[in-house]
Amino acid sequence: MTLTVLDPYTQTAVSEYLVRLPGWTLEDYLERAPEKAFWEFARGEVIVHSPVRAEHQELVYFLTWILGGFCERRQCGRIYNGPAAVQILPDVVREPDIFVVRPEDRSRVKGVPIRVRPILVVEVVSPSTRSLDLVEKAHDYALAGIPEYWAVDRERRAFHFFTLHGQHYREDVLHQGRLSSTVLPGFWLQVEWLWQDPLPSEWDLLKRILAGSADQESTF
């Protein structure tokens, strides 16, 4: 199935979009959604994402590399990337940019959709997905009991750090300083690293994170 989104005035293809297609069932979605594109399902709607920018993928790769290296070294989780489809609620399937599952759940990560609750989800925010990532997905991830959620908005230099308290998230917005994960013991990063252009060396930063060294003046 292909989809082209046109500007209603110029009739030219739109480069960034988020299209909602109502009237779908979960079975329709699992049968018809393309394997290599980001299509999500939520409460009878399919949400179709536009192709992502290179800058988006650079940040996804950067965070995947650092998180993956840390989890491999500390044996505290396994990293996966979208468009892997994760059924977080009976009527909601999301395709996170990055998600982490516990080591003991790795053997259950099979098929489509994946029915394992992540301990951490990361979304890199784009202009077309800002409301979806910060409002709708935050609501769904909290409802699903996912203990930690990051929404990284590089354009606005804002790191939205969601931690689960009861059935709801507490949201802290960081623009700089050190952030420490609540679900990956010992993992931290300096938020300013994410705003650098080009991004710093993943290997150099991973060594610092594993060593536990950082500027202690500004810590969250």
Reported as a single tens digit per residue, the pLDDT across 23-63 is 999 999 999 999 889 999 999 999 999 998 999 999 999 99
Does domain 53-211 fall into CATH 3.90.1570.10?
A: yes
Q: What is the tens place of the pLDDT at every residue in 112-140?
A: 999 999 999 999 999 999 999 999 999 99
Does 7 have pLDDT greater than 90? no
Q: What 3-state class would DSSP assign to 119? A: coil
Please name which of 167, 178, 177 lies closest in space to residue 212, comparing C-alpha atoms: 178
pTM of the model: 0.90
pLDDT for residue 12 is more than 50:
no
List the chain domain ranges: 53-211
**In the Cβ-directed half-sphere of 152, how many Cα atoms lie within 13 Å?**
26
